[in-house]
Structure 1
Amino acid sequence: MNSKRILASALFALLTAPFAASAQDEASSPFSWNITGVSDYVWRGVSQTDENPTAQAGFTYTSPVGIYAGAWASGVDFGDGDPDYELDYFVGYNVDLNETVNFDILLNRYTYPGASELNFNELIAKTTFAEDYSVTLAYSNDFGGSETDAFYINGAASYGLPQDYSLDFSVGRSFFEREYSENYLDWSVGVSKSFGAVSASLAYVGVDGNGRDIYGELASSRVVLTLNVGM
């Protein structure tokens, strides 16, 4: 497969591989789950479903000390043949460093049944400040099964609006070895709202010129609708 297809096959709304919540109270269940419908599975600015909708689901167990493990799945479409879905496994640790700073680190294993040559691991660290601001750093030494080092850094912010809406911003940059791919920038701006266990978001996402040159229509700017239910 060419480098564009390998990259497209590996692409995770970082905000796609799920981060567990902070350690739960003893009275609450250590298990959590979510089911999501998206108008397009976009990961780091690039469609993973050929610009089509899909379903996603995740399950996490969190121990009282903040160690957690789980799995997450989504439909994908990289063209003819396999894979038809992505199945991720992850283990991590989440801790409140103080009243305003939370730290989360996880090892995520991306797998693509029927196309195991695309499987790879990624180490992802996320620091959240005052609940509304975050910085994420990710590293893989085998991005998309290519034996290539790759880094990703992302900054995100969320601002409260009337009627319990929030305005969400995100900007990230992917870094690759030069012989593998050009670096590129992705961004997102959206509005979200929660209704108890149900949440909805509408975001406008895109990439810079390098990203469009690499991925073509899969990286064109678009509006993405997400509906989520979980506990």
Structure 2
Amino acid sequence: MFILNLSKRVAIVFFAMSGAVFANETSVQTPNGVISGNIGVVSKYIYRGGVESDDLAAQGGIEYAHKSGIKVGYWGSTLDYNPAHEDKNFGFENDLYLAYGHEINQNWSYNVQATAYIYHNTNNIVADNGDKRPVTSYDLTASLIYKNLTLLSAVTLADSSASNIGDTYLSAMYSYALPQDFSLNTSIGATAYNSSHDDEVVQTQKDFAFNEARIGVSKHFANTGLVASVDYVIGGEDRSGEDFDDHVVFGLNYNF
């Protein structure tokens, strides 16, 4: 599924990892590629340590993978806030991406992806002094996969209300197969922050910060497309040095 993945958004990468091994068992074959997708819920939506929804979040996506290695897809999630309207307790995140992936050999593969993060019913955030930032953000992600280990780097491509151009998120994820279709999933992530574009909307106190670590277990239910998961998220810090809380996240995903 999707490598998305920044500093306030989408545990998508990790949650998708929980079901990635089984995502193609009910996918649709076309003459030149494969259409696959998923729908699910998580008890909380935590992304790179930050809380996107402290309540139940509905999530889902669809992807077309051409035989050439080019992929195009969409992923979305409900939120318990609106980035541009403090008085609203509901929002929706829409992630659109274009990617290219290739299998080097039976052990090694890579993926390069450009993603736009778009929020429903939002536009700009304006500070008291007039500084203005768009809510929509963009990043470029490169992933190198060796067997069940994924190394990822995501670079922000433009200033937004949550990040500066050049912010770079780094992560490592590892999944280990257990008996009875269980998997042990782990990850760790940190961000190198660019402070040179700071203004009244985005202010940086940390040049580099550990954002989160995860350990969890997922269970695949054979011949159903269903994957259940539970993850313990160890919170780190954000760009301002504020501590993230720890969380336990339950999830149920249907891959098709």
What's the TM-score bracket when you normalise by the shorter of the two chains? Answer: 0.7 to 0.9
Partner of 1:202: 230
* Contact 1:17/1:88 (<8 A) preserved: no
Q: Could you list the per-position Cα deviations for residues 12-58 of structure 1 after superposition, in whole angstroms to 9, with x for gaps in the alignment?
A: 2251696999xx8xx93421110010001111111101x11110010
Aligned residues of 1:143 and 1:150 also touching (Cα < 8 A) = no
Count of residue pairs brought into register by the alignment: 215
TM-score, normalisation: structure 2: 0.75
Deviation at 1:91, TM superposition (A): 0.5
Contact 1:48 1:76 in 2 (8 A): yes
Higher helix residue share: 1
Q: Which residue of 1 aligns with 2:13?
A: 15
Superposition map of 1:34-183 within 5 A: 34-49=38-53, 51-78=54-81, 79-81=86-88, 84-116=91-123, 117-130=134-147, 132-145=148-161, 146-178=163-195, 180-181=203-204, 182=206, 183=208
The 1-side partners of 2:229 and 2:15 are apart by 17
Question: For each residue in 1:67-124, what CA deviation from the matched residue of structure 2 results, as whole angstroms up to 9, or x when unmatched?
Answer: 0101111011235238610001001011101110011111010001222321011101
Amino acid at match of 1:13: A
Name the CA distance, whole Å, in 1 between partners of 2:187 and 2:209: 14
* Aligned-partner Cα distance in 2 for 1:221–1:129: 29
Unaligned runs of 5+ in 2: 1-5, 124-133
Q: Which amino acid in the other structure matches residue 110 of structure 2?
A: F
Residue 252 of structure 2 is aligned with which of 203, 227, 230? 227
Q: 1:212 and 1:176 mapped to 2: Cα distance? A: 7
Q: Counterpart of 1:203 in 2: which secondary structure?
A: strand
Distance 1:212 1:174 in 2: 8
State the Cα RMSD in Å.
Answer: 2.6
Gaps of 5+ in 1: 1-6
Counterpart amino acid of 1:188?
Answer: R
**Do 1:101 and 1:128's aligned partners in 2 also have CA atoms closer than 8 Å?**
yes
Structure-1 separation of matches of 2:48 and 2:217: 18
Letter in 2 for 1:122: D
Which residue of structure 1 aligns with residue 130 of structure 2?
Answer: none
2-structure distance, mates of 1:73, 1:152: 21
| Distance (Å, rounded) in 1 between the aligned partners of 2:180 and 2:152 | 29
- Structure 1 residues 226 and 134: alpha-carbon distance in aligned structure 2, compared to 1, 3 A threshold: same
Moved more, 94-103 or 139-148: 139-148
- Call closer, same or farther: CA 1:143–1:133 in 2, change over 3 Å: farther
Output the TM-score relative to the length of structure 1: 0.83
CA distance in 2, matches of 1:36, 1:57: 6
Partner of 1:33: 37
Shift of the 201–144 alpha-carbon distance from structure 1 to 2, 3 Å rule, reads: farther
Percent of aligned pairs sharing the same letter: 27
SS in 2 for 1:163: helix
Q: Is the 8 A contact 2:193 2:239 kept in 1?
A: no
